[in-house]
Structure 1
């Protein structure tokens, strides 16, 4: 069950197998089966009943067993389509003002990454109505939601929303669109919103031309506060920086030369103690060292994923 935490996994549950930061896998537990990892064989029977967070031995090492959160599922799910990742998902849930009890209409189920996050946010009293035009994808998503015990808060349907609309009226607090032609769905989205309270809409589009046509449709259907964002992650690396003097020598090199000269001159115990103090000061980046810690932007940053367009429909 992805929506309610429990201490230990049971047979049939999906768990996250953590090998390293870059190697994590989703695993459905079945008695008698074995999962092969780079650290050797992992027996399902050993995992069943083990508390989440436990270190489990393999034949040539060990792995950790983690509870499947939407964030970890996003990193391990089987890709049927391109998906949204946590930095976009978290921003969408914030901007849509989602909370327990909210009703959300999602067009474009895809691989179910966004749906899992929406279900956790609006549960246990809310509901997600998610639609996909591709029948096979919709069926696979429906099976996943059943396996993850999410059917009480998620209804997955096969439907071409661009042609047939949502088929819902006066129910939604928020609408999320991940479609090639989101502007075709705006009229149906207006009908889906609660007339007494309105709501928030988000459209995810990889191209600016899609954003422009969507914004025009939103404006013509009475939406306000239309805004488009792009979420870019910019990691910083913490490094120690040494300044240079007027001759181009770094302060740390000059400091080392001074310490060496002082060490040659002072052979007494007092001199040795002074040298030890100097060395400690240099190691920790003291005033005599002349270096300092600085945050430097990484040269490699994750690139463009898409544009997020948000708009508000006021109550009628």
Structure 2
């Protein structure tokens, strides 16, 4: 087994230290990334939380404010970082990210090329998949965006696994230094077909390319270009439907013949004298109900995968 460079481990101490990045969790849709500083404090609707009280506690701890309110201190995993990072561009979310990592067949030691970097949502998951011996080289044409992404990777401890470059991949292609070395290439570009010839030169034999596009017209043109040197071309649209599961009070509501609750609002049903109720209200009870979330995210984009065709 190859020795592992300790500097390339994507890990964090299980106990919080001064200078660590933590995810402050209020509820599933309210989270915030905070850098721990011994002399600082976090103030929110629950009160004031002193950072000095956090130091030494294990990640996952429940901490209390001066008013008795509480939050949880979570480790900055790629999944949580995707939910709290600054949106410099439209980002990929967990459903698409997990699909990409699987179909690119990423394992520790892989070399991955990415363009463009954007907010770095996908890059963090790519880095964990190829750690501790692989590397992600990601490029963005926008210099300030690349600099901001570089700072984020330093915050999350990924700077030893990710190198950020400033380059117009659509116009210039990938650097020749990577020719024939990449296991996978990911493209998030408005005109991915312009970068496909360069991506083909970078990939190892049997290497895999993925292109993310929000519009089907982009997919069609991309696939036309892929056919010249790629095979096994497939396009997917990942749609995720989440459910809310909660306990609700029935309060003696009548049900219809199917056993489902009647439409709201409705009158409380009273027990008749024949039922031994003498007109009394049915006592309140509760049950657990599940329903689709009203804020379910719909279409994000299309994922097109292709495998480099063998020359033999």
> Where do residues 294-305 of structure 1 align in structure 2 (5 Å cutoff)?
297=292, 300-305=295-300
Quick check: 1:89 aligned with 2:102? Answer: no
Residue correspondences, number: 285
Change in 2 beyond 3 A, CA 1:264/1:132: closer
Which residue does 2:30 correspond to in 1?
Answer: 23
How far 1:161 moved relative to its partner?
Answer: 0.7
Distance in 2 (alpha carbons) for counterparts of 1:11 and 1:176: 36
* Distance in 2 (alpha carbons) for counterparts of 1:284 and 1:149: 46
Q: Name the counterpart of 1:186.
A: 196
Question: Which residue does the alignment assign to 1:160?
Answer: 168
C-alpha change, 1:238 and 1:83, in structure 2 (3 Å) is closer
> Which of 295, 298, 302 in structure 2 is aligned with 1:307?
302
Distance 2:270 2:46 in 1: 48
More helix by share: 1
Inter-CA distance 124–315: structure 2 relative to 1 (3 Å threshold):
farther
- Aligned positions of 1:5-154 closer than 5 A: 5-60=12-67, 61-154=69-162
3-state DSSP of counterpart to 1:129: strand
Pair 1:52–1:261, CA change in 2 (3 A) = same
Structure 1 position 6, deviation (Å)? 2.1
Q: Which residue of 1 aligns with 2:265?
A: none
Unpaired runs of at least 5, structure 2 = 1-7, 263-268
Which stretch shows the higher mean deviation, 139-148 or 234-243? Answer: 234-243
| 2:242 equivalent to 1:235 | yes
CA distance in 1 between counterparts of 2:35 and 2:289 reads 44
Q: For 1:16, what is the secondary structure of its paired residue? A: strand
For 1:198, what is the secondary structure of its paired residue?
strand
Q: Deviations over 1:145-172 (max 9, x none)?
A: 2232222211111111111111121111
- Looking at structure 2, the residues matched to 184 and 95 of structure 1 have their Cα atoms a distance apart, in angstroms, of 22
Structure 1 gap segments, 5+ residues each:
251-255, 266-278, 286-292
Structure 1 residues 21 and 260, CA, compared in 2 at 3 Å: closer, same or farther?
farther
Report the RMSD for the aligned CA atoms in angstroms.
2.9
**How far apart in 2 are the matches of 1:264 and 1:49?**
59
Per-residue deviation at 1:97?
A: 1.0
Deviations 1:210-264 (A, max 9, x none): 11111111112x211111111111234679995527xxx98xxxxx889862437
Structure 1 residues 2 and 17 mapped into 2: Cα distance closer, same or farther (>3 Å)? farther
> Which structure has the bigger radius of gyration?
1
* Matches for 1:148-227 after TM superposition, within 5 Å: 148-167=156-175, 168-194=178-204, 197-220=205-228, 222-227=229-234
Query: Hey, what's the Cα distance between the residues in 1 that align with 2:310 and 2:108?
Result: 21
Cα offset, 1:51, TM superposition:
0.8
Q: CA deviation at 1:3?
A: 1.8
Residues 173, 260 of structure 1: CA spacing in aligned structure 2 closer, same or farther, 3 A cutoff? farther
The SS at the match of 1:227 is strand
After superposition, the Cα gap between the structure-2 partners of 1:34 and 1:264, relative to the gap in structure 1 and judged at 3 Å, is closer
Moved more, 102-111 or 143-152: 143-152
1:244 matched residue in structure 2: 257
CA contact (8 A) 1:2 1:69 kept: no
